[in-house]
Amino acid sequence: MNNLIVKNASQVVTCSGFAGKRGKEMSDLQVIENGTVVVTGGVISHVLKEGESIPINPSHYKVISAEGKALLPGFVDPHTHFVFGGYREEEFAWRMRGDSYMDIMNRGGGIVNTTRATRAASEDELFAVGKQRLDAMMQLGITTVEGKSGYGLDKETELKQLRVMRRLNEEHPVDIVSTFMGAHATPAEWKGREDEFIDFNINEVMPVVKQEKLAECADIFCEKNVFTTGQSRRYLTAARKHGFKLKIHADEIVSFGGAELAAELGCLSADHLLQASDEGIRAMAQEGVVATLLPLTAFSLREEFARARTMIQNNCMVALATDFNPGSSFSASVPLLFALACIYMKMSPEEAVTAFTINSAAAVGRADKIGSIDVGKQGDLVLLKFPSYKFLPYHVGMNIVDTVIKNGKEYSEK
């Protein structure tokens, strides 16, 4: 039945709400001191303050005594590329000597390098490495993760990646929100024919992804020397007609109008945004587009961080994600994510927690089901080893997760 009581937590950090939070709202975590949470049949049934009696028979429940530990919603990672073949450690070394991300990409490295290895990998091989990566993410407190295709760049391999994610979603405790990203880069066989490659994705791949129900969202890399705003508009408009929710890689390398396009199309989220313009930020706030920021990527690429403070001050919904991928962010480190967000992006601990719970749930269209400790939501919880959420950025780079609870079932790493 997945019945569980987490009793007398020093803090129950509810992040309460059923939609993403904007601006100043991001600072209100609605913390209950010495609270208790009851999960019945995998769903949160009671959130109790100190002194309130538990209105159920505890003999039917497993009980966790959580004195001295903080309880939070399970973390939601709303931007990853975790299903891929091969690695790019050599390219990392090239970047350390001064080669830029785009320089490496333009000479056949980057995304296209991973494409070769992913095409060569079998579905079972991708499943096995995907499972290992999900296991590691779960130990860090991630209970829902978004995963993108985009390392096939052909029909067969794009579908293979998405089928692997479907299998993993069925067999692994972590929930996976799958995103079709056929337009991640232009493969060698389509170079110089980018418009035709967009047509290929729209006409040949999207309908199959939809027919087989392999993805909830669609995404494109809108960037100079990748795909133009016009190509991105066409791709995403077609994706909407197929019923996909829209996401966009926007304004990562240069200010390119990606944030403005996300607002124009009403995208669920715009991601990266290192170079987003003031106008683009205001437009996203006005249209309710979640600004998903990826500090591990900026850190790994030695780039300036996205302007989180400006976005929050302009009333944006800001989310955080790891961008786990083999090139620009080969890490799903939640501890490093919190440290970078607070120390270098100047987010408060409260804003960072909101950004990786209820707002990251909003970035994958699931804020009504996950991302907060509210009655009726999935019983996805994270119990920390310390009495306060403030230890997340303070204990720099250290995993402080004591217990992960997924749909009311306990997963401990002692």
The mean pLDDT of 318-326, rounded to a whole number, is: 98
Q: Are 245 and 257 in contact (CB under 8 A)?
A: no
Give me the helix-helix angle, 258-265 and 278-287, nearest 10°: 20
Across 363-372, average pLDDT: 98
What are the Cα distances from residue 105, in Å, to 91, 125, 280, 410?
A: 10, 25, 26, 43
Tens digit of each residue's pLDDT (9 = 90 or more) over 164-189: 999 999 999 999 999 999 999 999 99
| Residue spans of alpha helices (H) in 140-227 | 155-171, 194-200, 206-211
What local confidence, expressed as pLDDT, does residue 414 receive?
41
Give dist(CA 295, CA 263) in Å, integer.
Answer: 22
Output the pLDDT for position 110: 86
* Percent of the chain residues topping a pLDDT of 90: 94
Model confidence at 413, pLDDT cuts 50, 70, 90, reads low
Please give the mean pLDDT across all residues of the chain. Answer: 96
Tell me the H-state helices in 32-110.
89-96, 101-106
pLDDT at 45 over 80: yes
Model pTM above 0.95 = yes
Q: Which of 100-104, 208-212, 215-219, 297-301 has the lowest mean pLDDT?
A: 100-104
Decide: 244 and 217 in contact? Cβ < 8 Å: yes
Question: What does the pLDDT average to over 13-33?
Answer: 98
pLDDT at residue 412, as a whole number: 72
**Cβ pair 119, 159 in contact under 8 A:** no
CA angle 15, 69, 44 (to 5 degrees): 45
